[in-house]
Structures are given as structure tokens and as C-alpha cells.
Structure 1
Amino acid sequence: MAGLRKRFGATPALDGMSFTVRSGVVTGFVGPNGAGKSTTLRVVLGLDTPDAGWALVSGRAYRTLHRPLCHVGSLLDAGALEPGRSARNHLLWLARTQGIATRRVEEVLELVGLAAAARRKAGGYSLGMRQRLGIAAALLGDPPVLLLDEPFNGMDPDGIIWARSLLRSLAAEGRVVLVSSHLMGEVQEMADHVVVAGRGKVIADAPLEDLLARHGTLEAAYLRLTRDQVEFRAGGAA
């Protein structure tokens, strides 16, 4: 993505956001509330249209992708599902819209640990279970690119360790993995590269080891780099 700009009314959400996410590594995407992280992901996924700049997935705009779930998987909101539908039926519905085989639904349910609860209504799931279902949906098309917004929310320690291991293994397969999170400790444990955003633009884009060498911990790096980056858009996307 390069030069992304986006305003909601008179308020800027993105102000020249530019960075590239490489394959084979986990990239952490961090910044204060209002930094433009969620808006950036929505622009990449074609949910918001930028006022300027461009965002591509494997060299193409999301809206031009045929069977997009086979190119990019995403988790933006674990609650964005029909509560009366079972987890299995939720994934089956997604699979049918993309021409994905039914057996893949069973595979991802097993992968995320929901096989035993697959026929329960998703509305009765805990937040951690809904996060697992969201990750299953992101993986449904076996995509080379994954964009996840706060995937650890609501997970217990075992779930966080599982998710961290899963994302690292997916990157090791050569996939692009971008994870937006406010949990600096988890990002430090998982990421190879970190993009720090503030006020709608990138303020740091570096290997994790470089940030640790300079600041000691990712939390210290984050606090020093973002201390002047206050939330500037009340009620807007983070």
C-alpha cells in the first residue's frame, strides 16, 4: 500500500499510510486508538475506498479478485456472524459462495479446535471461540495472505499460545501474515517485523530485533514512538 489517505467528514483517518508486508514473516501492526489501523485493513479489503493512494493484495486490488477468500483471509470482527447459525453452517455458507469444497470446512474446524462444537449455534460461543471461528473463516480458502485485527481478544492463555503458534507456522509456510494488536507482549513473542502507526501514517517500519536492540522491549519502543500520537478521531476506526 502506498500514500493511503482517507477522511471521514472533516476528520483524517489515513494521512499517507504506506508500507509493504512481506511473505514468510509475521508482521505486527500496532499504534494508539485512532492511528488508522482498522481503516487501513478495511481499505485493503475493499470495505472503505481511499481518497488517495492504493492498496494491493499480491499485486491486485481486492475488488478484482476472483474467489477472494482463496487469495486473502481476514478477521476484522469476530462478532460478525449470524448467531442462530452453527459454526459449521456459517463456514459452509462461506465455502459455497467461493466454490470451496465441503471437506475444507471440516479441516479448518479441526485446525482451530472447534470440531466438537461445530454444530452448536455460534451465538452461544464465548468470545474466544468466536475468535477461533473467525480464524477458521480466514483460513477457509487456504489463502496466501492473512489480515487479522485483534485476533487474541477474549482468548484464554492456552488459546493465545495456540494462536501465536498457528500464525508463526502459517508465516513459515511462506504466507503473508499481518496482525493488528494492542497486546505488545504478544506481538513481541510472535512478530518478526513491526509497523507502528500514528495519526494515520507510519512512524516506524522495522524488524522486531532492531526495535528491541534500540529500546529493550516492544512496549518501550511503542511508548516512545507513539507518545505524541494521541487519538484524533473520536468514535472512528482505530
Structure 2
Amino acid sequence: MTETIEVSGLHKRFGATVALDGMTFTAPPGTVTGFVGPNGAGKSTTMRVILGLDRATGGTALVGGHRYPDLDRPLTHLGALIDANALHPGRSGRNHLLWMAHSQGLGAGRVDRVLEMTGMRTVARRRAGGYSLGMRQRLGISAAMLGDPPALMLDEPFNGLDPEGIVWMRSLLRDLAAEGRTVLVSSHLMAELQDIAGHVVFVGRGRVLRAATKDSLTAEFGSLEAAYLELTRGEGALR
């Protein structure tokens, strides 16, 4: 099963601040879609709207043609890493995942499989409050993969990873896309997306500036970093 992420005409305000101003793009199956733009451009807000954590004032955000909050056992459709710090510090990594698994009708065996996959098995019974940022990121990936979903959405997954972790993350994202999954990745690290993304969505001031294949962007600008600097110049948050 494949699940396309479709965002159409999203609008969102926080008081007088315009966070989303008609955000529209599609993240298709079988590729890594990079989601990039300056701080305040609307990336995290878009992801939160997709998950139903924030309510848009207009537009739609669909996963496989459905609103995420309407999905039965949603973690089996879309796995997400939005905030690696959203953990109870006194709970072990394994217990955190067991609680999530129980809510989705999943067993302890699946928890142990994702912990092994992300290299967290040996520290899984330690309290999450003692984890480094890189370990919290790996646990967040474990949670995103818990339901073996056909779509994943990851906000800055390279943050806090050491060089070995970055290589591991790069390989994981490539493999997930190669399996036919939809992979939407927000990142400020253009060098990492240069290696793994097949499609890139540049955003600024709550709207899409350009959405194109990595190859066409590289042919036009020379690199994703050069494309980012050119396309997002002056494109911060709307006020």
C-alpha cells in the first residue's frame, strides 16, 4: 500500500502572524521529498497541520486521501518525527514505545524490532531523560517506524547526529524510499538532501516558492545549496 501526502491551499494564522499562506505541494511514494526553507517559513506548522496538531484556517492536508485524525490506527499509515524531545524523562525508551504500540494494537515484538533497526536496543531500558539528542532522534525514528507505515514525515532528522549517525540516517531514508514509501524530510542540511532527495519543495513566507526534481534544480543552479540561497533570499516569516 502507498500513501501520498497532499497539501492543498493551507492557510494558518497565529494571531496577527501569517504562518501558512496557501501552502500547496505533494510528496509522492518512492522518493525522498526534501521540504526546505528559512526559519519561520511554515515547515513545522505544515507538518503539525498534517498530523492534526494544529488546525488550518483553510485548505486540506491528506494522507492517502484521508485526514490523518480520521485514520484508523494512524501510525500504520504515517509515521512522524516532529519533536525528539517530546518524551517523559523518567520513562525508558522501550516503555515509551510500548505505550505507543499499545495505542495502535501493536505488540512488544514490533517495539524490539524497531529498536534493533535504529541501534537503540542496548540503551532501550535507560531513562529517556539521560539520552543525548542523537539518541532521542533515533528513538523518534523508532516511534515513526513502529507501525511499519507506507509514509513517513521527519522534521530535521539529522539534528544531533554524529557522523556515523548521519551516514546511518542517509542510508535509512534512501532504503525507505526504495521500498516505495513516501518520505517527507524537513532539513536545513542541503548537503544531506543533495545525496538522498529525489524531489525538493522550497518554501518561504508560508507558501511554496518552487517544487522540482533534485536533478533539474542541480542542473539549473549547480547544487541544492545554491538553489536554496537563490530561491529563499528574503523569504522569512510573514507578519
Bucket of the pairwise TM-score, normalised by the shorter protein: over 0.9
- After superposition, residues 69-80 of structure 1 pair within 5 angstroms as 69-80=75-86
Match of 2:118 in 1: 112
What SS does the corresponding residue of 2:52 show, helix, strand or coil? coil
Distance 2:214 2:188 in 1: 16
Q: Deviations over 1:118-166 (max 9, x none)?
A: 1111111110000000000000000011000001100001101100100
Task: Count residues with an aligned counterpart.
Answer: 233
* 1:82 corresponds to 2:88: yes
Match of 1:54 in 2: 60
Distance 1:189 1:120 in 2: 34
Distance 2:48 2:143 in 1: 17
Structure 1 stretches of 4+ with a deviation exceeding 6 A read: none
Unaligned runs of 5+ in 2: 1-6
- After superposition, residues 83-162 of structure 1 pair within 5 angstroms as 83-162=89-168
Q: CA deviation at 1:28?
A: 0.4
* 1:190 corresponds to 2:196: yes
Distance 2:220 2:139 in 1: 38
Q: CA deviation at 1:112?
A: 0.1
TM-score of the aligned structures, taking structure 2 as reference length:
0.96
Distance 1:222 1:170 in 2: 25
Q: Deviations over 1:181-222 (max 9, x none)?
A: 111111111111100001000001000000000000111000
Q: CA deviation at 1:11?
A: 1.1
What SS does the corresponding residue of 1:167 show, helix, strand or coil? helix
Contact 2:42 2:237 in 1 (8 A): no
RMSD: 0.8
Q: Which has the higher strand share?
A: 2
Match of 1:236 in 2: none
What SS does the corresponding residue of 2:161 show, helix, strand or coil? coil
Q: 1:44 aligns with which of 32, 50, 61?
A: 50
Q: 1:15 aligns with which of 8, 17, 21?
A: 21
Q: Deviations over 1:5-50 (max 9, x none)?
A: 0011111000000001100000000000111000000000000111
Letter in 2 for 1:134: G
Match of 1:165 in 2: 171
Distance 1:11 1:126 in 2: 34
